[in-house]
Chains A and B, each alone.
Chain A
Amino acid sequence: MSEDRSELSTRGEEFLQLFDRGMEFTRELLRENEHLRRRLVELEDEQQNAARSPAEWEKLRLELLTKIRGLESEHASLRERLIEVESQSRDFADRHGAIAAENNDLANLYVASYQLHSTLDLEEVLRITIEIVINLIGADVFAIYLLDTARQELRAVAAEGIDLGRVPPCPIGEGRLGRTVGEGVIRSFDEESGESGDPERPLVCIPLRVEGQVIGAISLLGLLKQKRGFSALDQELFNVLAGHAATAIFAARLYSQSERKLNTLQGFIDLLAR
């Protein structure tokens, strides 16, 4: 009997504990419900206030417009910078191209003058002059003349693309070549001549001068098939030939004469020594 009573008491306590926990949970739910209801009311108020306040809307609009204007200004500034950088880049590319072309021209001029002064042998100087005219200028018919001072006429000593025997002597002051050499300046007749190959109708006449004195001339008579007219570099090469080929020829002839004189003198000395 007492055991039954004790078991009943234990069950009663368990039930009471369970009931307390249920009560506590219900209170929590009520608190949460109250909190959510208040938050809902707040949000409804905010929403109603925002919709009801044009000043707030205007403020927001102005802020956004200021931001948009700032971004637009930044965009415009970046575009300007981009255009500036593109322009600078084009300038650099142009300058690079111009410098490369100038380097190319200078290399041609350097090689021409270097080669012309690399020997004191007249035949070699003439050969190098021929190489320059063919390879660097692009002429395939031409003649190189030296001045016969006694007769005052130019005599061909080398020719390319035409038999040397077919190139007649040219008196100073006569014909295109003779007149040009008489004046002492380089002249182009390419627009009048076409592709003649005729020694009487040169495309370009280049007097060879040392210290103002004419010692010979180069007469260009025809160009390589692929060569179309003369460039600024060609004009510079004409000047190099007019000056440096002349000096090289003059030096080679002097050297040859001095060699001959030296040999003659040596012969005399040998004769006297016997």
Chain B
Amino acid sequence: MERQRILIVEDSPTMRQLLVFALRRLPGVDIVEAQDGMDGLRKLSGDHFDLALIDINMPVMDGLKLIGLMRGEDELRDVPVVVITTEGAVQDRERALRLGANEYLTKPIQANRVLSLARSLLKRD
């Protein structure tokens, strides 16, 4: 089976480490980290990714802006996106899904939930 690549775009090193811990349980997956939206966009443009986990509140470029840009690019339009955020309001969720996010997870996260979403979006069920 071909290896799959996941991009974590999150400004908090604590959250990045926690997400890497969770996703490392998936076999055959390479994980790449980006520390803000701009860094994420650079990495997405330079390589192929099968899934992106994106925080909303980040410096330089926030997650919603990044998702909007991704959905406007032919090569990035189909990359599945999971939003991971502290914003738990219904309107925040709807906005992110309207912009093109596939799933919306609120913090504090459960590693099992992240894993099951990743499995489903990577079509490993």
Question: A interface vs B, CB < 8 Å?
Answer: 100-101, 103-104, 107-108, 110-112, 114-115, 128, 131-132, 134-138, 140, 224-227
Contact = CB atoms under 8 A, between A and B. Distances in A.
Interface hub of B12, B14, B107 (most chain A Cβ within 10 A): B14
Given A131-B12, A131-B15, A104 B110 contact: yes
B106 interface: yes
A137 B112 contact: no
Interface string B52-77: 00000000000000000000000000
Given A115-B13, A224-B106, A100 B18 contact: no
Nearest to A103: B111
Interface of B: 12-15, 17-18, 21-22, 86, 88-89, 106-108, 110-112
Given A111-B18, A134-B86, A140-B86, A100 B108 contact: no
Contact of B107 (A111, A128, A135): A135
23 contacts: A103-B111, A104-B110, A107-B21, A107-B22, A107-B111, A108-B18, A111-B14, A111-B18, A111-B21, A115-B13, A115-B17, A128-B13, A128-B14, A131-B12, A134-B86, A134-B107, A135-B12, A135-B86, A136-B108, A224-B88, A224-B106, A226-B88, A227-B108
Contacts of A140: 86
Contacts, number: 57
Contacts of B18: 107-108, 111, 135-136
Given A104-B112, A107-B21, A111-B21, A225 B14 contact: no
A138 B18 CA distance: 14
A111 B12 contact: no
B14 A112 contact: yes
B108 to A, nearest CB: 4
B11 to A, nearest CB: 9
Nearest to A136: B108
Contacts of B22: 104, 107
Contacts of A101: 112
A224 B86 contact: yes
A269 B15 CA distance: 45
A224 B111 CA distance: 18
Nearest to A116: B14
A30 to B, nearest CB: 80
Contacts of A110: 21
B111 A131 contact: no
B107 A138 contact: yes
A227 to B, nearest CB: 7
Nearest to B12: A131
A135 B21 CA distance: 15
Contacts of A112: 14
A100 B14 contact: no
Contacts of A226: 88, 106
Contacts of A128: 13-14
Contacts of B21: 107, 110-111
B27 to A, nearest CB: 16
B108 A135 contact: yes
Nearest to B109: A135
A138 to B, nearest CB: 4
Contacts of B86: 134-135, 138, 140, 224
Nearest to A115: B14
Contact of B88 (A111, A114, A225): A225
Given A224-B88, A225-B88, A225-B89, A136 B106 contact: no
Contacts of A104: 22, 110-112
Interface hub of B89, B106, B107, B108 (most chain A Cβ within 10 A): B108
Contacts of A111: 14, 17-18, 21
